[in-house]
Amino acid sequence: MKIVLISAVIALGVLMAGPARASADLANANCGKCHEMDKKKKGPSYKSMAAKYKGNEAGALKAVEDPKGDHPEMKAKPEDVKAVVKWILQQ
C-alpha cells in the first residue's frame, strides 16, 4: 500500500511540474532573446511583467498582442503566448 501511495505522489508531482516546465521552455524558446527572469534585456524581465500585471491576465495578453508594433521578432502561436503569459503571472 505504501508503494502505491508513494508512486501516486510522485506521479502527481511529475504531472504538476510538466505544464510549468513546458511554459518555461516556451518562454525561453519564444521570448528568451529579449526577456529574462530577473533582468531587463531588450524587453522587461518576466518578474517585472508579473508584478505589473498581477491579477490582470487580460491586460498582460493585450500588452503581448503587439499594439505598438514592438514585438517584431515574436513568432509564437497564440496558444503558446497564452501559456507563457499564465506562467509569467505565476512568477
pLDDT reading at 64 higher than 90: no
What is the third-level CATH fold of 19-89? Answer: Cytochrome Bc1 Complex; Chain D, domain 2 (1.10.760)
pLDDT reading at 4 higher than 50: no
Which residue has better confidence, 30 or 56? 56
Cα separations (Å) of 89 from 3, 8, 10, 12, 65? 36, 28, 26, 22, 16
DSSP H stretches of helix in the chain: 2-31, 46-52, 57-64, 78-89
Span 25-43, average pLDDT: 90
- Residue 5 pLDDT class (50, 70, 90 cuts): very low
Domain boundaries, the chain: 19-89
- Residue 9 pLDDT class (50, 70, 90 cuts): very low
